[in-house]
Amino acid sequence: MDQFARVIVGYHGCTEGFAKDLLSGKKPIRDWQPSTNDWDWLGNGIYFWEHAPARALRWARERFRTPRQRPAVVGAYIQLGRCFDLLDEPITALLGETYEQMARDCAKMGAVLPSNRGREDKLRELDCLIINSCIEDERAWGIHFDTVRGAFLEGVPAFPGAGFSRESHIQVAVRNGACILGVFRPNI
């Protein structure tokens, strides 16, 4: 399959003001700033829930609780491009190799790798470091990734003994803003 053929629909939790500016064209898509927190689950990027508008709205409601920051959701058509897809075994093998090398390097320097922490390990400092490092290493070889995509089992089991969780989702971090083909206001 052509690496640029896969298009998904993603949903981004945000403030009402940001959504209005983006949807009206007052804020161009190219000016959308990526998240660069040390704890971002998929490294640097503009975050979307794949095909999950209600999950994006719930996140926005948890994050934006003041009258000045009313929660909203923006839908987007995203061309994954060259995707660092964590559902692809060669990619997860590369993550493991990168982790092993970084652990050896840290041990030589007497340093300690960060860990994922917080409630249910939602502050993913280790994951973020490994993903960003892996992508930077690949960039040194001339490979540029446009997006990062991963599935997460999150929350309590859907029912007793279930292998499914109530908050499971697929998340996408867009590293190349040109992959956001267009935006829309979802009906949720």
CA-to-CA separations, 186 to 26, 74, 94, in angstroms, rounded: 19, 7, 36
**Is residue 111 in a domain?**
no
**Is residue 104 in a domain?**
no
pLDDT tens-digit series, residues 68-108: 899 999 999 999 999 999 999 999 999 999 999 999 999 99
Angle between helices 125-140 and 89-109 (to 10 degrees): 100
In this prediction, residue 1 carries a pLDDT of 40
pTM for this entry: 0.91
**Is residue 188 in a domain?**
yes
pLDDT tens-digit series, residues 78-88: 999 999 999 99
**Is residue 148 in a domain?**
yes
Is the predicted pLDDT of residue 8 greater than 70, yes or no?
A: yes
Is the predicted pLDDT of residue 125 greater than 50, yes or no?
A: yes
Number of structural domains (the chain) is 1
- Structural domain including 165 reads 1-87+143-188
**Is residue 149 in a domain?**
yes
Question: Who's near 154: CB < 8 A, 6+ residues apart?
Answer: 120, 165, 167, 168, 169
**Is residue 114 in a domain?**
no
Which residue is associated with the tokens 């896969």? 6
